[in-house]
Chain A
Amino acid sequence: MFATGVALLALLPLGFVVWATISTGWAEAEKLIFRPRTGELLWNTVRLTAGAVALCAVIGTATAWLVERSNLPVRKAFHVLLTAPLAIPAFVNSYAWVSLLPSATGYGGALLIVTLSYFPFVHLPVAAAFQGLDPALEETAHALGLSRWRTFTRVVLPQLRPALLGGALLVALHLLAEFGALQMLRFPTFTTAIYDQYQSTYNGPAANMLAVVLVLCCLLLLVGELKGRGRARLSRVGTGVARPATRARLGRAAIPVLTALCVLVALSLAVPLASLTYWLSGSSAEFDAEMIAATATTSLALGALGAVCTVGLAIPVAWLVVRHRNALSTFLERSTYFGNALPGIVVALALVTIGIQVVPGLYQTTVMLLAAYAILFLPRAVVNVRSALAQAPPVLDDVAHSLGSGRLAAFRRVTLPLIAPGLGAGAALVFIAVVTELTATLLLAPIGTTTLATQFWSHSDSAAYGAAAPYAALMVLLSVPATYLLTREGIRR
């Protein structure tokens, strides 16, 4: 029952898109959608997404292979360094680049910067997939007479496919949703255009129609990934522990490979951090301590509230799908995943519209903002709560009952201690996501509520780079723990 409510909340934005299309009417919608501007935006969005996905896939797979399957020196350190860019929000990264190198705009600059920000999304799952690969399969292929390269293309690559596709999907969805970075790099895509349209006409059908096209793009990607994943089962068959793989020797390639990796780390990590340090220590740095403290407090409070609400909503959904798996519970769980595919701008537009037309009492309140966070970040919470619940199989409840514990006692003494770490991890991830969220916060925050992200944005938007630096630094600092969690997860798997 409660889970149904959560699923409905998660599906609100989709409902909004359908409603917007119907209420605009086909003739009007046609006029708004099929115009040169839409084509231009579509072309920009597609070429940026395609380019960045291709680059991220190549870079991420290569780095994952080097870390997991070659005799690269200091592999563990490289794994951390290659994941670390995730701690720098893309809009902070583009601020760092543009403030140092004002010419880093347009397609080239955007492609470079989003690739540097998002390639870890491919590196992490592919590295995990390499760890899960049973080297016996590759040895069998060698024994059947396949060369090293043919073994890679015919045995290894097909098994990496789900991880690679999943990572690519994540990159693509993030790009479709990306607002801050691309606005700063002056590379208009659907998301930035919707924002501009919203600023000038406020909730007009033009912005809504662009949102419809954007959502269609997202759905297209989801379906594409599902089709691409295919029906093959790629888990290991049989029992027994997989041996660690023998690592390929880099030999004479070691020096160029190391150089390339160092350049990658320098561009993705050293440049933004150096830029931040420069602006922090520079003469134009402004430390309005009071303002910084106030926004930090707001951000922390919103982050904590958002984390508690979102995890609270995720628990019933995850419980249903783990303990009472059927068509309905699977459907409810899947519907919460739409948040992953929906750009913040669409969620914000949907809530603005609903706020104005249905529940005016909620418009411009913190509740509305928290609802947006819940829709956007439910997937992270559900995934974590779900795997936490999987750590507490029902047989443990049975045993606790047979030992005299009632329902409540069994939950308190067995289930809760087992799922607590997973709940904590889910809450931490949501917390960080909320603290660095920009788009929905800009549109939905009550008047007078400024967060680290919005304050950073208003400074850097007016090229006050020094004044923006402390807020950027704080956001990066707050993102470090969650990023660390991600690397550990990768290592554990």
Chain B
Amino acid sequence: MTALTIRGVTKSFGATPVLGGIDLHVPAESLTAVLGPSGCGKTTLLRLIAGFDDPDAGVIAFGDETVFGDGRSTPPQRRHVGYVPQEGALFPHLTVTANITFGLPRKARVAKHRVPELLELVGLDVRVADRYPHQLSGGQQQRVALARALAPEPSVVLLDEPFSSLDAGLREATGRAVVSALRATNATAVLVTHDQAEALSLADQVAVMRAGRLVQLAEPPVVYGSPLDVGVARFVGDAVLLAGQVRGAHVDCPLGTIALRAGNIDGAAEVLIRPEQILLRGDGSGVPARVEEVSFYGHDAAVRLTLLPDGPRVVARITGERDLPAPGQQVGLVVTGDALAYPLSG
């Protein structure tokens, strides 16, 4: 498997710019998630890598081999990418076996080369081999689509929101099966998604895209813990944002004085705290607040509170099925860990 390098790639459709200069390096044998809201250009980026469309400018290289650049473009059929589109897009007229062996030379197709092995790799029973796509569930189709993409041993595997059409429960299980198959084959992979939980839980590094630009490229804990700006912070998870005043290594905000992580700004700032950092106390300590609303999810609960006397409102995420506060109850709030501060925008 080879690394994937993208430098200065731009693309516009007519007068509409879609990608404005993307630089991205995906190390060999790793999985990078491209995360962004719909319309940010992430699917376009994937299509450029696959060779279905050509960039306006820039360079795309698989390892040492330039597949786009200097006015030359390798056609998709010679790029050796594995492509897993949304909803699988299995060939409806072919059986699972014929789908998986589609990209192999004729001799290997006849010999049904590696079909049982690939089915096992993606966690499917060999008995599905003779079925047609319409006889499979959505999750099974997605796994066959991955097996089909992996069969010709591609240099790069591209996954375009492969789980977005699946039910929530199936989505996670399929995601884990797909990633373990990718790891087992030491594949270099790019996963495009708008689901932050999917990106954070599955990828080695996350590339956050916004409006045709790559905003942040980092490992999942870094993206979540140290988002580059407020927008990224809100996109990768729930965020409590408060007005504050930075003084050296601390910030004063309605939740008290909190230690700052790597802050190099001064004065008025926007303070980011994750809801799980806020603890509820019933013993009179902490910043007083009134419980407004409790949403219980089973594994945890979100508590919406108004700081006394009159705001702002914050969200705390608490674990444990016991001791849920009741709306109207007065509690004290304490922040654990440190906060991030951003310059005030606008």
Contact = CB atoms under 8 A, between A and B. Distances in A.
Contacts of A418: 91-93
Most buried by B among A401, A403, A404, A418: A403
B13 to A, nearest CB: 13
Contacts of A391: 92
Contacts of B80: 404
B92 A402 contact: no
Contacts of A402: 50-51, 76-77, 79, 81-83, 103, 149, 154, 158
A406 B76 CA distance: 8
B83 A398 contact: yes
Interface in A351-402: 391, 393, 395-396, 398-402
B296 interface: no
Nearest to A239: B165
Contact of B83 (A399, A406, A414): A399
B90 to A, nearest CB: 9
Contact of A396 (B52, B81, B86, B91): B91
Interface string B66-93: 0000000001111111110110010111
A414 to B, nearest CB: 6
Contacts of B152: 403-404
A396 to B, nearest CB: 6
A393 B77 contact: no
Nearest to A410: B77
B103 A403 contact: yes
Interface residues of A, number: 17
A145 interface: no
Interface string B229-247: 0000000000000000000
B317 interface: no
A393 B102 CA distance: 17
Nearest to A402: B83
Given A401-B75, A401-B77, A403-B148, A417 B93 contact: yes
Contacts of B76: 398, 401-402
A404 B93 CA distance: 19
Contacts of B52: 398, 401
Interface in A413-471: 413-414, 417-418
A391 B78 CA distance: 26
A414 B89 CA distance: 12
Given A398-B52, A401-B76, A403-B102, A393 B89 contact: yes
Contact of B103 (A395, A398, A404, A406): A404
B314 to A, nearest CB: 35
Given A395-B89, A418-B93, A404 B83 contact: no
A401 to B, nearest CB: 4
Contact of B85 (A398, A404, A413): A398
A123 B137 CA distance: 35
A203 interface: no
A405 interface: yes
Nearest to A417: B93
Interface in A130-145: none
Given A401-B51, A402-B149, A414 B91 contact: yes
Contacts of A401: 51-52, 75-77
A418 B89 CA distance: 13
Nearest to B102: A403
Nearest to A397: B52
Nearest to B76: A401
B103 A396 contact: no
B258 to A, nearest CB: 44
Given A398-B85, A400-B102, A401-B51, A406 B93 contact: no
A405 B77 contact: yes
B336 to A, nearest CB: 42
B324 to A, nearest CB: 33
Interface string B45-56: 001001110000
Contacts of B92: 391, 418
B158 to A, nearest CB: 8
Most buried by B among A391, A402, A405, A406: A402
B51 A399 contact: no
Contacts of B51: 401-402
A211 to B, nearest CB: 44
Nearest to B79: A402
Nearest to B85: A395
A490 B204 CA distance: 51
B107 to A, nearest CB: 14
B151 to A, nearest CB: 8
A480 to B, nearest CB: 28
B77 A399 contact: no
A150 B152 CA distance: 61
A239 to B, nearest CB: 10
B89 A404 contact: no
A401 B85 CA distance: 13
B89 A396 contact: yes
Nearest to A418: B93
Interface in B153-179: 154, 158
B148 to A, nearest CB: 7
Nearest to A394: B52
Most buried by B among A404, A405, A406: A404
Given A393-B89, A400-B102, A403-B148, 17 more contacts: A391-B92, A395-B85, A398-B47, A398-B76, A398-B85, A399-B91, A402-B51, A402-B77, A402-B79, A402-B83, A403-B83, A403-B102, A403-B149, A404-B152, A405-B77, A413-B102, A417-B93
Interface of B: 47, 50-52, 75-83, 85-86, 89, 91-93, 102-103, 148-149, 152, 154, 158
CB-CB nearest 10 A-B residue pairs: A403-B103, A402-B83, A401-B76, A395-B89, A417-B93, A404-B77, A401-B77, A395-B85, A404-B103, A398-B52
25 contacts: A393-B89, A395-B86, A398-B50, A398-B52, A399-B83, A399-B85, A399-B91, A400-B91, A400-B102, A402-B50, A402-B79, A402-B81, A402-B82, A402-B83, A402-B103, A402-B154, A402-B158, A403-B83, A403-B102, A405-B77, A405-B103, A406-B77, A413-B102, A414-B91, A417-B93
